[in-house]
Amino acid sequence: MRFRHWESLTSAPCAICPASLRDTIPFVTQEARHIFVGDLAEMPMPEMLATIHRNRVPGVLEVQLGDFSKRVFILGGDIIFASSTNRGESLGDSLLASGQITVAQYRESALKLLGNPGKRHGQVLVEMGLLTETEMRAAVLQQVQRIVWSLFDLAEGLVAFTLGEDRADEIYKLRIQTPRAVLHGCKTVADAKRLMTRLGGKTTLFSRPQLPEHLKDFQLETGEEELLDLVDGRRTLFELCDHGPFSAGLNARVLYAFSCLGLIKKEKDAPSGVIRVQVPSTEAGS
């Protein structure tokens, strides 16, 4: 479905999706096909992914970026695949750019793929003996991660979430924990100030609610645990960013991810006129 047609759709009840998801992400339907539509300016990608994971619904997130579109396939709340119509992000081009295959091998595999439309490019490359199954799975994982991480820096744009289990039969299907994707993706966001506006002001306080049931088996990394332990309902956002285990900017990014996942809860907003926390815009790797 083309994104330009969304505005012509009419809202209707969705009988197969959780009420909490309906209340969080606007939805529309057409021909009994249920589609949620969200604006990234109102609900950034981390919040959207966290909401989908919390409700454990299968489906496909699609983002339109000019002439290109990117899709993230979700099953059981976790990411199993991602694709992009941008040729530069295709598996073949990624392998070519990394030097894992040559131009001649790329062309030969593309011709074989044309003759076998039911196969994936990765299958053809493995059958040609150019990569092992293990190497191909690693290459697919890297490709999927690059596509997913690229979505976290988007500040605006429409995203559609279509319910269903498309790509559930993907040969090189992966299982990327959505909470881990949210944390890693937030860490890579270039503009930390954009995330800070979602958290609050300099004196905003946060508490730790009871651990959500869907996160019972999720493990935080050492630095992440240290930062979460600092959240006690008394330390302000400024103090958490200033005294956390990472740089101020990275602490802010991780706190935002915690907020998306429901690991921390904002207790009060900063008083009017309080200066926002100042953090560098580009220090994701620090």
Q: pLDDT by residue (tens digit) across 267-278?
A: 876 454 444 445
3-state secondary structure of 229: helix
228: nearest Cα among 179, 178, 187, 264: 264
What is the mean pLDDT of the segment spanning 132-143?
91
What is the mean pLDDT of the segment spanning 161-179?
77
- The overall average pLDDT reported for the chain is 81
Residue 13: what pLDDT? 38
CA 189 to chain CA centroid, Å, is: 11
Question: What residue has token string 């690059």?
Answer: 146
The ranges assigned to domains in the chain are 3-85+154-180, 87-146, 190-268
223 pLDDT above the threshold of 80: yes
40: nearest Cα among 254, 212, 189: 189
Residue 33's pLDDT band (cuts 50, 70, 90)? low
- Candidate ranges 12-16, 169-173, 189-193; pick with highest mean pLDDT: 189-193
What is the mean pLDDT of the segment spanning 27-33?
43
Looking at per-residue pLDDT, the higher value among 267 and 254 belongs to 254
285 pLDDT above the threshold of 50: no
Which string of b and e fits 67-96 if b means at least 16 CB within 10 Å? eebbbbbbbebbbbbbbbebeebebbebbe
What is the mean pLDDT of the segment spanning 256-263?
96
What is the mean pLDDT of the segment spanning 157-179?
78
Residues pairing with 35 in the sheet: 28, 162
Residue 266: what pLDDT? 93
Strand pairing report for 205-207 and 33-39: unpaired
Residue 280: what pLDDT? 56
Pairwise CA distance, residues 19 & 83, whole Å: 29
- Token pair for 100: 């894992």
Pairwise CA distance, residues 201 & 258, whole Å: 16
Question: What residue has token string 């949620």?
Answer: 36
Looking at per-residue pLDDT, the higher value among 24 and 264 belongs to 264
Residue 28's pLDDT band (cuts 50, 70, 90)? very low
Is-contact 227 240, C-beta < 8 A?
yes
Rounded to 10 degrees, what is the CA torsion of 151, 39, 205, 253? 10
Residue 235's pLDDT band (cuts 50, 70, 90)? very high
What is the mean pLDDT of the segment spanning 162-175?
71
pLDDT tens profile 76-125 = 889 999 999 988 888 888 899 889 999 999 999 999 988 888 788 888 99
Pairwise CA distance, residues 257 & 181, whole Å: 10
Going by the DSSP 8-state scheme, the letter that residue 153 receives in this structure is G
Is-contact 62 70, C-beta < 8 A?
yes
38 pLDDT above the threshold of 90: no
Quick one: what percent of the chain has pLDDT higher than 70? 79
Residue 270: what pLDDT? 47
Looking at per-residue pLDDT, the higher value among 54 and 276 belongs to 54
